[in-house]
Amino acid sequence: MLKNVLTGAAALTLGCGMSLGAIVAVGGSVQQIAQPGDARLNALTSTTTVYAWNEAQNFTLDRNVKIDAQAPGLYDQAGDLINGVLNQGTVVNSHYVHFDTPDSTGGSARGRIQFDGQILGVIVRNGSGTRHLDQSDFLGAPTLFSQNVNARGLEFSTDAFRIVIAGDAIEFEFDISSPGDYMRIITVPTPGSLGLAGAGLLVIARRRR
């Protein structure tokens, strides 16, 4: 999995939101778009294209936010995930990755997204008792999201992602039907101190693999 997602820098395209200090390049099946008004199920669909956009920028968290991954490495099974928290008061940028096919049809995609700041956390879980995407949707306002949807997020029997060693990009492989695959990625705003990557993060259980 996740081998040869991209053939090199030539596969990347510059992000349209560079002036926001967030997504700076995308590759593979990813298309960067302006933040949409509606990202609920069946509102923004494609069988081949993964949409990505910037959400809250230079935002000071007014509550703790649960995250599922933070360290560079491959995440291809549920046991790779962590139980982590970004603390209230941390200043962040938020970005959303959205892959939803029309009428519950299947679809597959691979891609890469590069940011101009380090990744603080990745949020991919949304099941009973772990509705981390639902709980972080305030970072995507005013976009509308479907709430209380089981399996909104990733299913590791078919999905995988990698935080690259440099810590400023994410690669993924999705294979979906319904309700699709979705991720929220939290990064350090720039310009700013990379010390925020440690100052605002309390990792309750670190990834062991």
Token pair of 85 as six digits: 């928290």
Of the candidates 123, 114, 138, the one whose C-alpha atom is nearest the C-alpha of residue 18 is: 114
Q: Tell me: the pLDDT tens digits for 156-173?
A: 988 999 999 999 999 999
- Give residue 148's domain range: 14-205
- Alpha-carbon gap, residue 62 to 64, rounded angstroms: 7
Q: Please report the pLDDT score of residue 12 as a whole number.
A: 59
31 occurs within a structural domain: yes
Q: Please report the pLDDT score of residue 15 as a whole number.
A: 53
Which residues on neighbouring strands pair with residue 202, listed in sequence order? 85
Structural domains counted in the chain = 1
SS (HEC) of 67-116: ECECCCEEECCHHHCCEEEECCCCEEEEEEEEECCHHHCCEEEEEEEEEC
169 occurs within a structural domain: yes
* Distances from the Cα of 82 to the Cα of 130, 184, 204, angstroms: 12, 15, 8
pLDDT category at 2 given cuts 50, 70, 90 is: low
With pLDDT > 70 as the criterion, what percentage of the chain qualifies? 81
7 occurs within a structural domain: no
77 occurs within a structural domain: yes
Q: Please report the pLDDT score of residue 20 as a whole number.
A: 47
Which residues on neighbouring strands pair with residue 44, listed in sequence order? none
